[in-house]
Structure 1
Amino acid sequence: MTDTVSPPGASPPATPPRRILSAWLHQLAVDRWRLSEGCAPGEGADAAPLALITDTAHGPRIHAANRAGIATGAQAGAMLADVRALCPDIAVRPSDPAGDLKFLEHIALWARRWGPWSALDAPDAVLVDVTAVAHLFGGEAKLLADAHDRFIRRGLAVRLAIAPTAGAAWALSHYGPERAILAPDDDAAARLADLPVAALRLDGDVLLVLRRLGLKRLGDLTERFGEPRGRDALQRRFRNRKSPAANPLIRLDQLLGCVPEPLLPVLPQQVPLVQRRLMEPIRHRSLLDTVLGDLAADMARALEGSGQGARRLELGLWRVDGEVIVRQVELAAATRDPAHIAQLFAERLDDVDAGFGIETVRLRASWAEPLALMQRDFEAAAEAHGTSLAAFVDRLTVRLGPKAVRRPVLHASHVPERAQRWQEALAPEPPSQGELAFHARPLKLLDRAERIAVLYATPDGYPKAFRWRGAVHEVVRVEGPERIAPEWWRERGGARLRDYYRIEDDAGRRYWIYRQGIIGDGRGGMPDWYLQGLCA
């Protein structure tokens, strides 16, 4: 490779302008249902009025409708009873928002054929970065034509737009022509002036306020509030709205490129999966256990090859009659020990009805974490001797349920009673909140600090003796104090400081006590003393 040197005075190469492709799948839920039924657009079951419904507290509501259903008045968000009054013959099917989102994730990964990365624009749009790639397709117009043809071939209705920002691309794809391009040197404010204010991706209550103010077009915002004085007037009305979807000025600045808008790319994840297609259907439990053991060994090899351990495993059993039985287990710590995996699933298979037989068995690790070989060997040796804590927790949760077992986790607080919290044993570790440099803490803390009577030489001096639970203890050794200030964001303004002491009495017993408050702090009378822990 030969290095090239620019001549003196030459300007650096210009950065290509950013270009974002927005693909709005405005019939995503209906198209997905139609594809699952094998219907072509406008044919078969899709030709009659159809609505996908969602159950709510007030009754079924329309989630989406096909073109024939929309023509009869079935609008998204309407009550099913109202729609039936207009069209009694409309067919209904249950909606599946979670399935739609997963389908949209697959579309986002597939859409990376037009750019290096893509992002979800839930619930029914995809954004693709097509910066400096349009020439590979012969220009942006041909890129849009290629994208449109490929979406149509997949049976998906789509509206497309390319613009310098994600907000402008979204606005054009939703409220512009079917295929729109906003060039980098175009005046975005003038080009988008006739679009409705809904193109700013605002919440419904904010749109209602803007309409009541007479602001119906984007041009109304840019003309009236383009100057600093006008912006101040609108900013005062929405000054408490921090979310972009609740503040029209933030959304307008994002649309025009004055404020950056972060986007989260969709990254493909390889989920470890192993399966067995059986030559003959099996009905007996012993044969199923044998297949499960083989799958557990295959999963262990797959996880070891990627340097991972499983935290959640799903076992799918396909019966001859087409029914699928799914069993899931979660683990307290990442593992790839096949014997442990088979043992956990064995307790979940007692109620399985094989029917006429099981012909396919599949094991999938839907949640995996990095796991080194040394850690795996250590846990395996511990389990062989019956001392593995993770294996013990796994067995308890399988028998008692995931909510019946809890574990303590550290919490970032210097106040002793708040430095620990309880959470479900299978829940992921909370994010690190920074290491706290604690002093030595006693091995046992009381559930609640108990008030004691203390004799001292001076109000702010060391304790000489104290009474606790009816007994008087003479203090022979004292270490401290360790001062802990109250958490001002949680306590009232009159909360007092704590001074902690580690003390030893004449019998050799050690305690952890604290004085709450100091003389003259202006937050109460004389200080109070409490015993909070027992030291080793």
Structure 2
Amino acid sequence: MPTPPSSRRVLAIWCARLSIDRWRLAHGLAEGEGADAAPLALISETAHGPRITAANAAGLAAGAQAGMMLADARTLCPQLAVAPADPAGDLAFIEALAVWAQRWGPWSAIDRPDGVIVDVTGVAHLFGGEAHLLADAQAIFARRRLSVRLAIAPTAGAAWALAHHGPPRALLHPEDDPAQRLAELPIAALRLDDDTITLLRRLGLKRLGDLHGIHRDALVRRFRNRRSAAANPLIRMDQLLGRVPEPMLPVLAIEAPLVQRRLMEPIRHRELLERVVADLAADMVRLLEAKSLGARRLELGMWKVDGEVVGRRLEVAAPTRDAAHIAGLFGRKLEDVDAGFGIELVRLRASWTEPLALAQRDFEAAAENHGTSLAACIDRLTVRLGADAVRRPVPRASHLPERAQTWEEPLGPEKTAQTEFEFHARPLKLLDRPEPIGVIYQTPDGLPRTFRWRDASHEVVRVEGPERIAPEWWRERSTTRLRDYYRIEDQEGRRYWVYRNGLAGDGRGGMPEWFLQGMWG
């Protein structure tokens, strides 16, 4: 049974200066030391120019603010230094932090973009109480020189509100009244979007306590069309007070299978390296078999004596646990490896795995048929020709011929929604792009009689059509013209697929144009 909201305890961790802290730690600086003592801003490129995403304490004091254009900030602080922001690195850090934070609770969730939520229900006694748990977390982050704000409350919404707008280390006891305790927090503590916060402030609702003095029906009428929680203060208030549940997506730690060999003597010859890779492949297969997994992507790392690391990556068409197949594929990728003074450590990691059930196999039949499967053939072609050279065409739901096909990985899952889309007769060969032709016809809307293509004239003896294809209005401009396709045959028996682009007097251009797009035979 789910834990009642009144007995749940949630820890909110807010990395208040995540981007700046990561930049400072990457440069080995203490807070307010060296380059961090001067005004600094992290910027990201936008369509209108560089925009500030974060600033250090000196930059904030000089007037730089997150969301400000760099040009505007430079007018306030000409000496402002800049560095590129790293949002992908920030997200990776939060993901790793969410897993590491499970030292305080059984599960955690990411609170984008700079926070983590941890369920600490029933675990506070292990730390000597919730106050000691907060002190432990505060001390650990301080040792790592990270600026964080912490809070524990009965709900994730209340913990978030206290972490962002309360004291640096806040604790809302189970016996406290959340509505009364949080009444003085600003309206932004409800995790609403900027437009909703601006609207509430214009209505004179600036604190959470202001919402308690308004009849609920009035707020329901005002926000009844807003289904998103971030745009509806009623939903956010109910979540904060525990009246409605707030689903959280827990973070699951997945360890990639990894095997390695630390060699007693560095090796320099390829034959020895291939033998080590074969041993690692056998170890990897045993590890994958124990977990009922198959490898789709494998990464091989080789550490040289001089400290250089050489890496090779391999992707297979289907999940595999065939050690000989894996070793054979990697063997072709080792041809250009320069061992230098020798390789002393080799590591194999399966960074992408998929479920692969155990199966009883006939060992003699497997030995006879080894390497003859379609997946094995595709893997060998991919290693020889490159990943982008081996693809399969699949139909796509589009009336336009040039969009009716796309390319996917060779053994990817079939998409039934695409294959159910039926077309009229299509030629076996389509040109890379339609080529313009000159056509003689009786009337602007009539059948073609003669056409000229690639400096040669062709007399039309048979015509089938037209097949009219309207523009895809959801992705094209309103001025795009419709097409009338014809299957035609010239005096020598060659058959072509041509179309007229537009109609005379359709108001979307001049006279219609003719193009040749494909041919039969």
After TM superposition, the score normalised by the length of structure 2 is: 0.69
1-structure distance, mates of 2:270, 2:283: 20
Deviation at 1:396, TM superposition (A): 3.8
The equivalent residue for 1:390 is 375
Give the letter for the 1:292 counterpart: V
Deviation at 1:334, TM superposition (A): 1.0
2-structure distance, mates of 1:430, 1:221: 52
2-structure distance, mates of 1:229, 1:188: 22
1-structure distance, mates of 2:23, 2:421: 58
What secondary structure is seen at the aligned counterpart in 2 of 1:292? Answer: helix
The equivalent residue for 2:240 is 255
Deviation at 1:201, TM superposition (A): 1.4
Q: Which runs of 5+ in 2 are unaligned?
A: 398-403, 426-461, 464-521
Is the CA contact 2:378–2:390 (under 8 Å) kept in the aligned structure 1? no
* 1:243 paired to 2:228: yes
The equivalent residue for 1:231 is 219
The equivalent residue for 1:95 is 85
The equivalent residue for 2:100 is 110
Q: 1:186 to 1:73 in 2, by over 3 A?
A: same
Q: 1:328 to 1:166 in 2, by over 3 A?
A: same
Matches within 5 A, 1:98-497: 98-224=88-214, 227-236=215-224, 239=225, 241-277=226-262, 288-318=273-303, 324-349=309-334, 360-374=345-359, 381=366, 384-398=369-383, 399-402=385-388, 404-406=390-392, 424-425=408-409, 429=413, 448=423
Deviation at 1:22, TM superposition (A): 0.6
What secondary structure is seen at the aligned counterpart in 1 of 2:359? Answer: helix
The equivalent residue for 1:488 is none
Deviation at 1:376, TM superposition (A): 7.8
The equivalent residue for 1:32 is 22
Q: 1:348 to 1:114 in 2, by over 3 A?
A: same
1-structure distance, mates of 2:75, 2:381: 54
Q: 1:152 to 1:342 in 2, by over 3 A?
A: same
What secondary structure is seen at the aligned counterpart in 1 of 2:295? Answer: strand
Deviation at 1:26, TM superposition (A): 0.9
What secondary structure is seen at the aligned counterpart in 1 of 2:348? Answer: strand
Q: 1:385 to 1:284 in 2, by over 3 A?
A: closer
Which of 7, 10, 31 is the matching residue for 1:41? 31
1-structure distance, mates of 2:84, 2:191: 27
Deviations 1:341-384 (A, max 9, x none): 23333444556666776554432111112323427878993894
Give the letter for the 1:97 counterpart: P
2-structure distance, mates of 1:403, 1:375: 34
The equivalent residue for 1:7 is none
2-structure distance, mates of 1:53, 1:383: 60
1-structure distance, mates of 2:307, 2:82: 24
2-structure distance, mates of 1:168, 1:205: 21
2-structure distance, mates of 1:15, 1:216: 26
Deviation at 1:100, TM superposition (A): 2.2
After TM superposition, the score normalised by the length of structure 1 is: 0.67
Q: 1:92 to 1:15 in 2, by over 3 A?
A: closer
Is the CA contact 2:296–2:318 (under 8 Å) kept in the aligned structure 1? yes
Give the letter for the 1:231 counterpart: L
2-structure distance, mates of 1:329, 1:448: 38
Q: 1:208 to 1:272 in 2, by over 3 A?
A: same
Give the letter for the 1:132 counterpart: G
Is the CA contact 2:5–2:242 (under 8 Å) kept in the aligned structure 1? no
Deviations 1:251-310 (A, max 9, x none): 121111111001122222121112344566666655554443333233223223333211
Give aligned-pair identity as a percent: 64
The equivalent residue for 1:490 is none
The equivalent residue for 1:415 is none
Give the letter for the 1:62 counterpart: I
Deviations 1:425-484 (A, max 9, x none): 378758999xxxxxxxxxx9996256xxxxxxxxxxxxxxxxxx99xxxxxxxxxxxxxx
2-structure distance, mates of 1:379, 1:254: 62
Deviations 1:13-52 (A, max 9, x none): 9997111111111122222333333333333443333333
1-structure distance, mates of 2:186, 2:42: 27
